[in-house]
Amino acid sequence: MSDRRSYNRYRLTEAAEGTVRLFPDVMVEPLGDEEWIAMGREAAVAGETLILDIVLLDTDEGELRHRLPVCVIDSRPIILDGDMRHRIRLHSGPLAPALFEQQIRRG
């Protein structure tokens, strides 16, 4: 039995809860210093944290990749070129909880 491993191949850890969602075909544009506007086929949930994977083309170094955590401020359906899309407002500064117009009005 000398062919047996003397170390563990895996270890059990506590389960973590989370969800992974991908937003295919999303166009994202900056709006000021800390806000972004995304247009996509799927709605987002206000208060949800997303990761923007930004690729910048640099002539000297090729592609520069940067991952930016953003918080969803608002997600609304719109009609764009005859198709329904969702306009998603994102905030890239400190991830504070989103305030909705309904919450402000209700007090």
CB atoms < 10 A from the CB of 65, how many? Answer: 8
pLDDT of residue 40: 92
pLDDT of residue 38: 93
**Sites in the chain below the pLDDT cut of 50:** 98-107
Helix, strand, coil abundance in the chain, percent, nearest 5: 5, 45, 50
pTM: 0.65
Closest among 95, 4, 10, 101 to 47, alpha carbons compared = 95
pLDDT of residue 92: 87
pLDDT of residue 94: 67
pLDDT of residue 27: 87
Q: How do residues 12-24 score in pLDDT, each as one tens digit?
A: 777 777 777 777 7
Domain ranges within the chain, ordered by starting residue: 35-94
